[in-house]
Chains A and B, each alone.
Chain A
Amino acid sequence: MRSRLFIALLGLAACESRTPSLEEAPPPDPQAAAEAAPVEFAATPPREAPPKVAPTDVRTPEWPAERDEFARSRLTDAARVEVDRSPLPALVVAETKLLASTVVTTGPHWYSATSRDGGLTTTLHGTRLAHQHAHIPPASGRSAVRGQPAFVTENEGIVSAAWVEGGVAYALDVECRDRDDARCHGEGFVVGLASRLVFVGGHGGAR
């Protein structure tokens, strides 16, 4: 009895044991299809060409007409400097509490802004570089964010919405310290937060 309880507790503690998806998922069917034999490395490997990097396409973003100067003024100096380096329209979560803690980082083709307020972490990631994987057909998400079709998913309790806007791929993640925090359950909070993102600048953006 004790060992069963112990196993049950371990199970409850397991990776996604508290996600709604798992609670909905049926246990595995022991009669499921026979397992394929594992691949074992040979002692003498065949040496073929290394894997190729998928071709990429750098999109030209469409820049919004106006900056939100109020939100921009609430950013730290360091964040504003980094925003102005962004190669794509820099959006930020407009909540005042989050603006003050926003840390912005940029790369040659991407922009990221992360904020923390108590137990909530938000991260907006945007990139203008798209990877061309010919074997992956285009598709649209079932949800809508900022008037665009979006994929909303949950990754280990982190709710994330992804959409394409003005040629740029964005994703907004919300992560809660407390797994029972309602903001990290369902798509309502992240979609609402995304709808309130504002444009604060970028290299090539309007002033």
Chain B
Amino acid sequence: MIANVNATRMELLRLKKRLSLAKRGHKLLKDKQDELMRQLMEIIDDVKEARLEIEREFQSILQSFTIAKSKMGPHQAEEALLFPTKKLSVSVTKKNLMSVRVPIYEREVEGDIIPYGYLNTSGKMDDSLINFEKFLESLLNLAEKEKTVQLMAEEIEETRRRVNALEYKLIPELEETTKYITMKLSENERSNIVRLMKVKDIVRSH
């Protein structure tokens, strides 16, 4: 498609500038897309492995926890855990990964995981809680990684759209339009020369 422009030299210059800018942008975006893709591929297997591992582990922890709970009776279990002594807070820092801002979680823990006296509770409960505490680290890790994958996937999609818009729409359009203008201008030039020659002929014949 040819853009609706006046076939003038000024317009031609302007279009040429835009074209070179578009080409540079296209190259940069394409590089960005390739690199993002490479990095995504690198972490994708890790994430999948981590996810499977965590699901397995969490289920076994949950099972032992449930057994402990049913041993103690639901009310007592709830009572025992009513006031958690452990304080978990997470600090988030941003990391810039190819202009994608991904979170890094760091946990800050205070207090002991076991908030109850040992008298009324089952030992299985202690075990599952301690296991869960250890497990938390990998859970946060997974949260971080999964978020990274999601954010990167979004970014790649966006970049791909931009690259395609430049490659298949803007750049061809600009190229065609500059071509159209050069043709038009040289046509004008030729018709001008012809006219001059004709005029000269008429003048000479008099």
- Chain B associates with chain A: no
**B residues with CB within 8 A of A:** none
